[in-house]
Structure 1
Amino acid sequence: MNLSEIWVRIKQHPLSRVGPGLVTGVADDDPSGIVTYSQAGAQFGLNMLWTMPFAYPLMSTIQVLCARIGRVTGRGLSANIKLAFPPVVLVSLVLLLLIANVLNIAADIAAMGEVAQLVTGINWHIMTGLFVLLTLVLQILIPYRHYVFFLKWLSLSLLAYGAVLFTVHISWGDVIWSTFFPQLTWSADSAAVVVGIFGTTISPYLFFWQSSQEVEDMNLRGQPSLLEQKNPEVITSELRRIHWDTWSGMLYSNVAAYCIILATAVTLYAAGIRDINTAAQAASALRPLAGEFTFLLFALGILGVGLMGVPVLAGSAAYALSEVFGWRSSLEDSAAQASKFYAIIALSVLIALAIQYSPISPMKALFWSAVINGIVAVPLMVAIMVLSSKQSVMGAHVASLSMRIFGWLATGFMAVAAAYLFIAW
């Protein structure tokens, strides 16, 4: 079998037909998120497992609404906010998103570099530069139809965290009991971890990314928006696909996050290691406790999701800003066709790389990213709820009652989390 035949076989794999929900879900578990989940497991053991089943319907509903907005209108989230809200709202949200994304990228690539140094022994600054170069080459030079296929295969890296569970001893009875009946004393520390988990699980950059990816997929398939679609069977099929794709993608993401919390709970927490500040520290701590194979699985998972998370962070910023100014914005376009769009991607990642050589520590960058995301998330979620419920925007495809209930619950919960984060800061 020659290379062209192998490529055809790969392209025919069922994974190639999975939509934007999978990539969005996996990008949610970026290296910064892994740090948060590892800290939750190390600090509170099994008693933070409840956060994942609790967050699942809330994050899934918001992401479904974002995907519907993109597919129904044929425009990204930023373009829809531009039409429905005053300019100051759009500019403020996008500017804060850009700052938060750059800081988040800085934390992610630092984590990838440090973990790569643990695995290869090569200086982490060199590895960080290589990862930045790789992500830029893939995003700028490879058309969307091939690039997104690469991202979907990278999603398999999250399976590493499920595999970790087979390398350590687990009392599954205790796990199930703690998931639904946690013994958690509410305190400033536990509240901070819960806020951190929800902040990294329901993230603004994912809203912009999934909405724009639906538009990318729609254009790639040469289909009209659902507002322009006349065939009711196609409309029903597309809305059903969005629900299935998003809920399954978010489930994959949440199960992986659950596995990370569980793996660190039964190893680090059990060994009395309570403080985890970096992804490399989490991986290093696992090495003497669970063995070399567990360490490698954990480390490779961080590198795999980092290669997904960084492009999504940079891409979401580029989509958002390009739609503000009406610039051409598509990963299917060449760099010459969408120069400003790709310039934003490159600048986002290069500024994040420059932070590695500044006095700003990656953990400080992660902290400020969390603060800004907390500020941006609530008004942005309010905008999503308003857009998805307006007939002038969505036509006959407005959000159902159940989606509005879960969406507003998610918004209210994030408002409380953001208020706590702001007060604590």
Structure 2
Amino acid sequence: MKNYDKVKERIKNFGPGIITGGADNDPAGIITYTMIGATTGLKQLWLMVFSTPMMIAVQDSVARIAIVTGKSLSEVLKTFYTKKTATIVISLLLIANLFTIAADMEAVAQIFEIVTGIHAIYWLIPINILIGYLVIFKTYRTVKKTLVSLTAILAVYIFSAIKCKPDISTLITNTLIPHIKFSGAFFMAALGLLGTTISPYMMFWQATEEKIEHKTVVQIEDATLDTVAGMIYSNVVAYFIIIAAAYTLFGHHIFVSTIKEAAIAIKPVAGSFSFTLFSIGIIAAGFIAIPVLAGSSAYAIADLFGWRKGFEEKVSSAKGFYIVFLGSLLIGDIINLSPISAVNALYYSQILDGMLLPFLVAVIAIVANNKKIMGDFTNTAFNNIFCFVTFIISLACIVIMLWQMIV
């Protein structure tokens, strides 16, 4: 009975890891996974298994640092490196986040347009008002519960894939045996998958949330369990999105590059029920990811300049924090109203994220293994191995992306 109560208490304390995992499957990520399934079928399912320990290692390292030092990732950069370094990294993060926010907003608005017939542009402001209301007028605990609840809705993609009645033996083969096809389309899809799965904003968000929760070193195991659960859930959802797209779109020669195109393509091929599940997932994903993206920017800038911050603070006492948060939403709207393509914006934001990733992973690994900083709670062997793997692969991704741009 004691063990049951202990497990129940641990689950009750879930939050940062679960929310971060849910936010990773934002609408921009969903369209990436949908495109992968539509263009390569089931051939890249093994990459979801491969990337899961990488995600866990990076996010758990970040959580450990935040708990032991009591600092966010912005403060770690500023304290253990230089403010100039922190400013450059956070500036790049902010730009990438803004483009991703714009793409996510457009995706949610497009679903509302398909359902209601009202043009997507008219949904942008109501979406922002709802998110702003939740964050400004509700308590941090309410915001946290809302985000955790929304992550559960993403399970609709699991049901959507099951409805397709996939062949189990084919799934097992493609999940456990790497299938590498040396073509530009296949490799670029692989880069998109890995770049979408491990995003810098996730590191900033989770570190800040662990700090806000005021966890002690005694709770490191709880934080690890939360992180493992969040990252596995995130990739399980992504795994089933690829399956659903493979069975509904692959082989039909349907090209999709936006959420609207994917939703419209799914309806006649897979039916209204699959379309409904897809749409519900997009809306839930948007309302998780947009505040997390804007929040990670607001926390990062507030920590850089030493401002008061946090959703538990009143607007009057944390003006700078809320200006950045609401400003991020507003700029997202402006990008959508401008001639800039949300698809192109997402592409360039992923390039920025890719350029940030190896640097951030290296910084995290160095700090997490510094005994002067971490004491007896330095990084685990598992985290070190897969942080190194992430560093090498992300560096390779940058080289290949730059090569593709030059050639």
Instruction: Verify the 8 A CA contact 2:51 2:194 in the aligned structure 1.
Output: yes
Of 339, 348, 355, 1:368 maps to: 348
Is 1:31 the counterpart of 2:27 in the alignment? Answer: yes
Aligned twin of 2:181? 185
One-letter identity of the residue aligned with 1:94: I
Give the superposition deviation at 1:294. 0.5
Aligned twin of 2:252? 271
Aligned twin of 1:320? 300
Is the partner of 2:330 in helix, strand or coil?
A: helix
Of 242, 245, 250, 1:261 maps to: 242
Q: Given the superposition, is the C-alpha separation of residues 112 and 383 from structure 1 closer, same or farther in structure 2, using an over 3 Å criterion?
A: same
Q: Given the superposition, is the C-alpha separation of residues 15 and 120 from structure 1 closer, same or farther in structure 2, using an over 3 Å criterion?
A: farther
Q: How does 1:274-289 map to 2 (within 5 A)?
A: 275-289=255-269
Write out per-residue CA displacement over residues 217-252 of structure 1, whole angstroms, 9 at most, x where no aligned residue: 11xxxx6x53xxxxxxxx2xx111111110111010
Is 1:247 the counterpart of 2:243 in the alignment? Answer: no
Q: How does 1:158-173 map to 2 (within 5 A)?
A: 158-173=154-169
Aligned twin of 1:112? 108
Instruction: Verify the 8 A CA contact 2:10 2:222 in the aligned structure 1.
Output: no
Aligned twin of 2:64? 68
Instruction: Verify the 8 A CA contact 1:38 1:260 in the aligned structure 2.
Output: yes
Q: How does 1:23-422 map to 2 (within 5 A)?
A: 23-218=19-214, 225-226=216-217, 235=218, 238-273=219-254, 275-422=255-402
Aligned twin of 1:232? none
Q: Distance in 2 between matches of 1:146 and 1:47?
A: 41
Write out per-residue CA displacement over residues 258-296 of structure 1, whole angstroms, 9 at most, x where no aligned residue: 0000100011003232x2201221121110111101100
Q: Distance in 2 between matches of 1:26 and 1:319?
A: 19
For normalisation by structure 2, the TM-score amounts to 0.95
Q: Given the superposition, is the C-alpha separation of residues 245 and 13 from structure 1 closer, same or farther in structure 2, using an over 3 Å criterion?
A: closer
Instruction: Verify the 8 A CA contact 2:57 2:382 in the aligned structure 1.
Output: no
- Quote the sequence identity (%): 35
Instruction: Verify the 8 A CA contact 1:389 1:399 in the aligned structure 2.
Output: yes
Q: Distance in 1 between matches of 2:162 and 2:190?
A: 27
Write out per-residue CA displacement over residues 13-47 of structure 1, whole angstroms, 9 at most, x where no aligned residue: 99753221100000000000001101100000010
One-letter identity of the residue aligned with 2:321: F
Instruction: Verify the 8 A CA contact 1:167 1:290 in the aligned structure 2.
Output: no
Aligned twin of 2:5? none
Give the superposition deviation at 1:423. 2.3
One-letter identity of the residue aligned with 2:259: A
Cα-Cα RMSD: 1.5
Instruction: Verify the 8 A CA contact 1:42 1:269 in the aligned structure 2.
Output: yes
Number of residues of Structure 1 aligned to a counterpart in Structure 2: 398
Give the superposition deviation at 1:182. 4.5
Write out per-residue CA displacement over residues 343-366 of structure 1, whole angstroms, 9 at most, x where no aligned residue: 110111100111111110111110
One-letter identity of the residue aligned with 1:271: H
Is the partner of 2:309 in helix, strand or coil?
A: coil
Write out per-residue CA displacement over residues 158-177 of structure 1, whole angstroms, 9 at most, x where no aligned residue: 11101102322311111111
Is the partner of 1:343 in helix, strand or coil?
A: helix
Write out per-residue CA displacement over residues 126-170 of structure 1, whole angstroms, 9 at most, x where no aligned residue: 122211211122122222111111111111121110110232231
Give the superposition deviation at 1:52. 0.4
Note the residue ranges of structure 2 that are not aligned, 5 or more in a row. 1-7
Instruction: Verify the 8 A CA contact 2:45 2:175 in the aligned structure 1.
Output: yes
Note the residue ranges of structure 1 that are not aligned, 5 or more in a row. 1-11, 227-234
Q: Distance in 1 between matches of 2:386 and 2:115?
A: 42
Q: Distance in 2 between matches of 1:246 and 1:104?
A: 23
Q: Distance in 1 between matches of 2:246 and 2:178?
A: 13
For normalisation by structure 1, the TM-score amounts to 0.91
Write out per-residue CA displacement over residues 101-124 of structure 1, whole angstroms, 9 at most, x where no aligned residue: 001000110011111111222221
Q: Distance in 2 between matches of 1:13 and 1:345?
A: 32
Instruction: Verify the 8 A CA contact 2:15 2:144 in the aligned structure 1.
Output: no
One-letter identity of the residue aligned with 1:301: G
One-letter identity of the residue aligned with 1:365: A
Q: Distance in 2 between matches of 1:190 and 1:399?
A: 34
Query: Which aligned segments of 4 or more residues in structure 1 are displaced greater than 4 angstroms?
Result: 12-16
Instruction: Verify the 8 A CA contact 1:161 1:256 in the aligned structure 2.
Output: yes
Q: Distance in 2 between matches of 1:311 and 1:15?
A: 23
Instruction: Verify the 8 A CA contact 1:23 1:155 in the aligned structure 2.
Output: yes
Q: Given the superposition, is the C-alpha separation of residues 395 and 15 from structure 1 closer, same or farther in structure 2, using an over 3 Å criterion?
A: closer
Q: Distance in 2 between matches of 1:260 and 1:90?
A: 35
Instruction: Verify the 8 A CA contact 1:374 1:421 in the aligned structure 2.
Output: no
Instruction: Verify the 8 A CA contact 1:390 1:398 in the aligned structure 2.
Output: yes
Q: Given the superposition, is the C-alpha separation of residues 139 and 156 from structure 1 closer, same or farther in structure 2, using an over 3 Å criterion?
A: same
Is the partner of 1:47 in helix, strand or coil?
A: coil
